[in-house]
A = this chain, B = another copy of it.
Amino acid sequence: MNTPSSLEELIDALRCLPGVGPKSAQRMAYHLLQRDKPGALRLAQSLDRAVESIHHCAKCNNFSEEEVCALCRSPRRDASLLCVVEMPADLLMMEQAQCYRGMYFVLMGRLSPLDGIGARELHLERLVRRAQEQPCEVILATNFTVEGEATAHYIATLLCAQDIKVSRIARGLPVGGELEHVDSGTLAQAVLERREVTE
């Protein structure tokens, strides 16, 4: 009786956002209706536009408005390298680091059986086909979390079976890192994966 139906619907609809429960959804709805109606209308428009125009790039699987994204079409990228990342945000981090000029494949997730995300949901068969096209090295840059490691291991098994060269980005101390302040797991890995110093 006290909550108008369109307000109830809005509160319910806001819960599709990750990490938003009933209380936050209520707070968000009140805020928008009370203090930011233009923002609400702009959000509605952006949602419609993004849902309509955003698809996955046919080559790298990243979000794109075109069939093949600008990065995959660029002639200035090294087509012999294919870097596998979990999310578009990871690709952005790689680009910002300016350490890599090859191609990408964005998994749009990671193996996570508890969330029902297996090899099929990640379209790993597309990654294998993509890797067979041209690259001579696939660099696995999934996160160093349990799930990211499992994903990297699974992909490595798939690709090695096709005789494709696979590498994994290095673990170790961060640049500027001090032994005193690093966690013991990282330090142990840094020792295990030590590199020979020549000259």
Contact = CB atoms under 8 A, between A and B. Distances in A.
Interface of A: 1-7, 9-10, 12-14, 16-19, 24, 26-34, 36-37, 39-51, 53-54, 62-65, 69-71, 87-89, 91-92, 95, 108-109
User: How many protomers of this protein does the assembly include?
Assistant: 2
A12 B1 CA distance: 35
B34 A4 contact: no
A88 B32 CA distance: 14
B50 A10 contact: yes
A6 B44 contact: no
Q: What are the nearest 3 A-B pairs in CB distance? A: A16-B39, A13-B46, A44-B47
Given A9-B50, A10-B46, 20 more contacts: A2-B91, A2-B95, A4-B54, A4-B64, A6-B46, A6-B65, A7-B50, A9-B49, A13-B47, A16-B36, A17-B32, A18-B31, A19-B24, A29-B50, A30-B87, A33-B63, A37-B51, A43-B43, A43-B44, A44-B51
Contacts of A18: 27-28, 31
Nearest to A104: B2
